[in-house]
Amino acid sequence: MHVIDEQLLRRFDVPGPRYTSYPTADRFVEAFGEADYIQALEQRRAGSLALPLSLYIHVPFCESVCYYCACNKVITKHHSKSAEYLRYLARELDLHVQHFGRGHHVSQLHIGGGTPTFLSDAELSDLMHTVRRHFNLVPGGEYSIEVDPRTVTEQRLEHLHQLGFNRLSFGVQDFDPAVQKAVHRVQPAEQVFALVAAARRIGFESVNVDLIYGLPLQTPESFARTLSQVAQLRPDRIALYAYAHLPARFKPQRRIVAAELPAPADKLSMLSQSLDAFSEAGYVYVGMDHFALPNDALAVAKRQGRLHRNFQGYSTQPDCDLIALGVSAIGRVGATYSQNAKTLDEYYDALDQGRLPIVRGMALTRDDLVRRTAIMALMCQGRLLFESIELGHLLDFRSYFARELEQLQDFEAQGLVTIDDQCIEVTEAGWYLVRAIAMVFDKHLRVDQDRARFSKII
């Protein structure tokens, strides 16, 4: 039984980043624009030892709104909108090729949303043809797409596999019909079971299922039933997210009845139940909110110390540049981060003018790079070796991070980390609060103590 110390949790369960990057996207500035991004692309082109790329493509369209959603999306029934969007994506790709060349190797592709399966089979074929015309998708790479079970059939899954996708992520959230109705996402469990079985028959290498705890009308009893069904479904990976109710920031959440949200104690109970259920079902705790079966590539990477983290979460692929395409997409090239325009009008307007649609970003300082290395080591390996930082960045760890080591003494006293002369190691209990541990190394948070922009850790 996973017993989580409620007092300890209350103490460290503060709002904080998920650290899909460091510095985090809220630190991006509008002073960083297209010219800075082009410079980063051209520097990559000039480099002779460029590693394989990662690609992210954002498809913003959804037919209906899920009330819990905090993603950048466009709600529409008009499928004609996607044809126009694909034309602009092709323009964006052409502009990239102009600045850093064609034929770069890609070892990771993820299409997210929104609902990527809003696109028709023909449109998905066109999109993948465009990608392959510009890039070389290498054998053995991870090629994934997010799937709304309400928008696909077995035949559509076969088509996705033929296009080269080898990983699927199904948005489930909860199997309880009352909860589904309360968040405006009704999808029978039988439908999901049939699609996951079909995905296995077709030959997808890995199937992920997303779950959310803390939704309206959820109770520990109802969520226990969902967990039992997930154990029967047995996806290769599970992403378990805590619902963050931020209606002031995310308009769809205003339709959620706050009085129907579970109490903090019930939410904690659901987390504890989940940890027990996944452990009993044989899943490996990869980190933070991700679980995987022992033979899944994510669990293998965790065991071998090869786990990485990017804007899509945990990854098995080497730490590499990420080219991000589409409205609001966030990328990383060299020591820079960049984000595209957040609205379709702005995105289209930039491309109509022959410009890449970069609206903000940042160039990382030496201190940012040092701290990114430290934070990602904690988030991915749960272990921060002083020597690796010292050799990689030519500094004395204990002097450079004297303030942080002092702050970590409280975490050590609570049994969340151990610290010796060589490293900082996250304990088993500490993994559940690894974001709070990583926050100690976040200099931007220290400068600006306004953390209300983030969701809480649990």
Is residue 1 scored above 50 in pLDDT? no
Residues in the chain: 458
Which pLDDT score is estimated for 210? 95
pLDDT at residue 144 above 80?
Answer: yes
Average pLDDT score over residue span 334-344:
96
Give CA separation, 14 vs 167, 450, 453, in Å: 33, 11, 11
| Contact of 236 with 293, CB cutoff 8 Å | yes
Write the class of the CATH domain 21-322: alpha beta
Residue 377 DSSP symbol: H
pLDDT score of 453: 54
Residue 370: per-residue pLDDT: 97
Question: Do the Cβ atoms of 313 and 301 come closer than 8 Å?
Answer: no
**Token representation of residue 249:** 């920031």
Write down the pLDDT at residue 265.
Answer: 86
Question: Is 94's pLDDT higher than 70?
Answer: yes
**pLDDT number for residue 449:** 57
Task: State what percent of residues in the chain have pLDDT above 90.
Answer: 75
Mean pLDDT of all residues in 267-289: 90
What tens digit of pLDDT does each residue of 146-170 get? 999 999 999 999 999 999 999 999 9
* Average pLDDT of span 92-113: 93
- If one counts every other C-beta atom within 10 angstroms of the C-beta of residue 223, the result is 28
The CA distance from 354 to 306, in Å, is 39
3-class state of residue 378 by DSSP: helix
Residue type for 378, please? Answer: L
Q: For the residues 439-456, what does the mean pLDDT come to?
A: 73
Amino acid 373: pLDDT: 94
75, β-bridge pairs: 62
The encoded tokens of residue 21 equal: 């990057």
For the entire predicted model, the pTM comes to 0.92
> What pLDDT does residue 282 have?
96
Q: Which residue has the tokens 């890449």?
A: 356
Q: What is the pLDDT of residue 450?
A: 47
What is the mean predicted confidence (pLDDT) over 113-127? 95
340/350 Cα distance (integer angstroms): 10
For residue 453, give the nearest of 14, 11, 9, 10 by alpha carbon. 14
> Average of pLDDT values for 174-199?
96
Predicted pLDDT at 319: 75
Q: Which CATH class is domain 1-20+365-458?
A: mainly alpha
Which is more confident, 440 or 314?
440
Tokens in use for 135? 């890039």
Which pLDDT band holds residue 372 (cuts at 50, 70, 90)? Answer: very high
Q: What is the pLDDT of residue 48?
A: 54
Residue 2 confidence (pLDDT) above 70: no
| Amino acid 3: pLDDT | 53
pLDDT in tens, 384-416: 999 999 999 999 999 999 999 999 999 999 999
Exposure string of 160-188, with b = 16+ CB inside 10 Å and e = fewer, is beebebbbbbbbbbbbbeebbebbebebe
Residue 221 has pLDDT above 60, yes or no: yes
Q: Where are the domains of the chain?
A: 1-20+365-458, 21-322
Is pLDDT of 452 > 60?
no
Mean pLDDT of the chain: 92
Q: Please provide the DSSP assignment of 348-407 as one string.
A: HHHHHTT---EEEEEEPPHHHHHHHHHHHHHHHTSEEEHHHHHHHHTS-HHHHTHHHHHH
Q: Is the pLDDT of residue 256 over 80?
A: yes
Element (H, E) at 276: helix 264-280
* Mean local confidence (pLDDT), 368-391: 94
pLDDT(267) > 70 = yes
Joined together, the tokens standing for residue 169 give 């992520």
* Backbone φ and ψ of 110, nearest 5°: -135, 130
Average pLDDT for residues 124-137, to the nearest whole number?
96
